[in-house]
Amino acid sequence: MKKINWSKLSFIGIATVLLWLKTYIVYKTSFDIKIENWRQEFILFINPLSFLLFIFGLSFFMKEKNQNRYILTTSFVISAVLFANVVFYRFFNDFLTLPVLFQTSNMSDLGSSVNELLSLTDTLYFADFVILAFIVYLKPKFVSYRQISKVDRRAFFLVAVAIAFFNLGLAETERPQLLTRTFDREMLVKNIGTYNYHIYDAFLQSKSSAQRAMADGSELVDIDNYIHANYKQPNDEMFGIAKGKNVILISMESTQNFVINNEVNGQEITPFLNEFIKDSYYFENFYHQTAQGKTSDSEFLVDNSLYPLSRGAVFFTHSGNEFTATPEILNDNGYFTASLHANNKSFWNRDIMYQAFGYDRFYSLPDFDVNEENSVGWGLKDIDFFEQSVQHLKEMPKPFYAKFISLTNHFPFELGEEDRFIEPYTSNNKTVNNYFPTVRYTDEALKIFVERLKEEGLYEDSIIVLYGDHYGISENHNKAMGEFLGEEVTPFVSTQLQRVPFLIHIPGQKGKTISTVSGQIDVKPTLLHLLGIDTKNNIEFGSDLFSEDKMEFTVLRDGSFITKDYLFTRDTCYDKNNGEPIDKGACEPYIEKAKNELEYSDKIIYGDLLRFYENTEYRGTNIFENEIIGEQ
């Protein structure tokens, strides 16, 4: 084989090396990628190279002027993609996916959150582009352009292919079945690289689009059998105990469970909630199960008892699907259903998705008086939001199901001095410091809201359900969180921090703290059973939290899971009693179950399978199979 004349490739070589080294530096400085041995470090180092060789190698088919333009433009675009991942990672501790990029309608509302994540030093992420631009402008003698022969081109691309296969082979040796672990984006980036990951993500997106077109109702059979085999009978004493009552469901933005019964600067963080749980059913081992869709994912979980997707947000990617959500079911049982959120109705595509869920009414931004005085951060302050919402509740037909989405306790946790009930925490981390005053403010807003419900005669006729929607403090702030908690934030501790408050207040019922391991996916069947509505024919993965047979098993969207005795995360099994790693065999019985649940739920969403589930009166697989055959 003829050797490549590398002197002919100098500009391409410079562009490749600069971007290659920059990518590796970003891996080490901007992402928290866990490296366990020298092989993983080597894979991390080489994984950008094959993509960069391919993408810059295309310039060999261009003339000099177009070649330089192409390399400059490509370098800038790739740098922008890398930087976008850095900014996204700073808050979400995750990598971008194609569906998230399609959610651009949300960008105008991000405002201060994005500004908080940017700094002047971020211009360094484009330093290599500036160097290349100077080279093109100055045209130094060491950079020359010559026509590349076909042989040289073939040799160049053969080298790129060889590196790509070498990289993938090493990665598969280190992590078998790598490309099937699509929910673990860190694992994919660590092994195949950021750029190849995005190409693979685009492939997955096209695959998911094809899944709906190819799906048919027969795929529901195995899923239905699995769900019915795991169905738990409701508690006779609790079934229907709140029949006919109004339902007030409140999503507490970014509220994690560690603030409950805890203090900062010697003051209670949530004094109202600490008292309210004494008169409520409080589930202290309740986990959020959201992914990239955050608040919208929590809404999806609570209303459907299906898992969100690992990529993007169902609210955007599958708003045209058929769902059997709580609002639709309650509509059929005489309820008026509404959601109240003082934000643009199109944010997270809620105006479309709420129709799919069956909501009768969406009280959005135009239904509230919002001005500079009563707004902070993302919009209307929680105290004003709940106060103005009382009038909407009074005007609703009874009984009603009203879901509230709070807003003040949202990153970057902004709050004026006049609204602080406690002072910020004192660490070197601004995000963690400011988190506590905004949580305290929301707690005060809830206190005032409950008092108003009592004044208006709504309190005794309503059950009040409160839940945290997702984490507020990401893993990027583990050092400051460890300082507050007084312990190192290990993967075990980090997973335990995914617990969020969940409590149900039922008029006339005494309070009780329940330690059952549970999650947002359990809210729908629990709530419907309290209202006396049977769920045994529903396609849902949660189970009634009051059921005496409730299995203590909760799956997080990244594949982690928690049981009564064990916690499994990042391919490690932990003993819940002491937080120490133990033999993986202890968690083995649950690993397959966790995988099945996530895959079954994904099939329902990607294939829009609930459109085939029209007859809820069937019993058993054979009847259902006959029904499908008859339709075909």
Each residue's pLDDT tens digit, 376-387: 877 899 999 999
% of the chain with per-residue pLDDT over 70: 89
Residue the block writes with tokens 């053969």: 158
Each residue's pLDDT tens digit, 187-210: 888 888 888 888 887 777 777 667
pLDDT (mean) for 265-294? 96
Q: Which residue in 295, 324, 326, 535 is the catalytic one?
A: 295
Instruction: Please check whether residue 341 is in contact with residue 366, taking contact to mean a CB–CB distance below 8 angstroms.
Output: no
| Residue 145 pLDDT level (bands cut at 50, 70, 90) | low
* CA-based nearest residue to 483, from 430, 423, 440, 426: 426
**What's the pLDDT score for residue 91?**
67
Task: Give the integer Cα–Cα distance in Å for 30 and 383.
Answer: 37
pLDDT (mean) for 287-310? 94
| Residue 119 pLDDT level (bands cut at 50, 70, 90) | confident
Task: Give the integer Cα–Cα distance in Å for 556 and 520.
Answer: 10
Q: Is 295 a catalytic residue?
A: yes
Residue 610 pLDDT more than 70? yes
| Residue 62 pLDDT level (bands cut at 50, 70, 90) | confident
Residue 372 pLDDT more than 90? no
| Residue 100 pLDDT level (bands cut at 50, 70, 90) | low
Measured between alpha carbons, how far is residue 175 from residues 166, 355, 590 in Å? 14, 42, 20
Each residue's pLDDT tens digit, 396-447: 999 999 999 999 999 889 999 999 999 999 999 999 999 999 999 999 999 9
| Residue 335 pLDDT level (bands cut at 50, 70, 90) | very high
- pTM for the model stands at 0.76
More confident of the two residues 116 and 22: 22
Instruction: Please check whether residue 210 is in contact with residue 425, taking contact to mean a CB–CB distance below 8 angstroms.
Output: no
For residue 193, the one-letter residue type is G
More confident of the two residues 256 and 155: 256
| Residue 480 pLDDT level (bands cut at 50, 70, 90) | very high
Task: Give the integer Cα–Cα distance in Å for 401 and 386.
Answer: 16
Residue 168 pLDDT more than 70? yes
| Residue 147 pLDDT level (bands cut at 50, 70, 90) | low
Residue 631 pLDDT more than 60? no
Instruction: Please check whether residue 556 is in contact with residue 518, taking contact to mean a CB–CB distance below 8 angstroms.
Output: no
CB atoms within 10 A of CB 20: 19
pLDDT (mean) for 136-143? 72
Provide the mean pLDDT of the chain: 87
**What's the pLDDT score for residue 98?**
66
pLDDT (mean) for 116-133? 83
Each residue's pLDDT tens digit, 492-523: 999 999 999 999 999 999 999 999 999 999 99
**What's the pLDDT score for residue 112?**
55
Range in 303-317, 443-457, 606-620 with the lowest mean pLDDT: 606-620
**What's the pLDDT score for residue 546?**
96
How deeply is 583 buried, as exposed, middle or buried, from its count of CB atoms within 10 A (0-12, 13-18, 19+)?
exposed
* CB crowding 157-183: b at 16 or more within 10 Å, else e: eeebeebbeebbebbeebbeebeebbb
Residue 627 pLDDT more than 70? no
| Residue 616 pLDDT level (bands cut at 50, 70, 90) | very low
Instruction: Please check whether residue 259 is in contact with residue 270, taking contact to mean a CB–CB distance below 8 angstroms.
Output: yes
Measured between alpha carbons, how far is residue 148 from residues 3, 45, 67, 69, 507 in Å? 12, 28, 12, 17, 80
- Reading the block at residue 548, the tokens are 């005496």
**What's the pLDDT score for residue 148?**
72
Task: Give the integer Cα–Cα distance in Å for 344 and 110.
Answer: 12
Residue 615 pLDDT more than 50? no
Domains of the chain: 6-211 (no CATH), 232-547 (3.40.720.10)
Helix (H) or strand (E) holding 574: strand 572-575
Each residue's pLDDT tens digit, 4-58: 444 444 778 888 999 999 999 999 988 888 787 888 899 999 999 999 999 988 8
Residue 544 pLDDT more than 90? yes
Measured between alpha carbons, how far is residue 259 from residues 99, 250, 263, 326, 489 in Å? 33, 17, 7, 29, 16
% of the chain with per-residue pLDDT over 90: 59
Instruction: Please check whether residue 425 is in contact with residue 265, taking contact to mean a CB–CB distance below 8 angstroms.
Output: yes
| Residue 116 pLDDT level (bands cut at 50, 70, 90) | low
Q: Where are the alpha helices (DSSP H) in 424-505?
A: 430-455, 478-485, 491-496
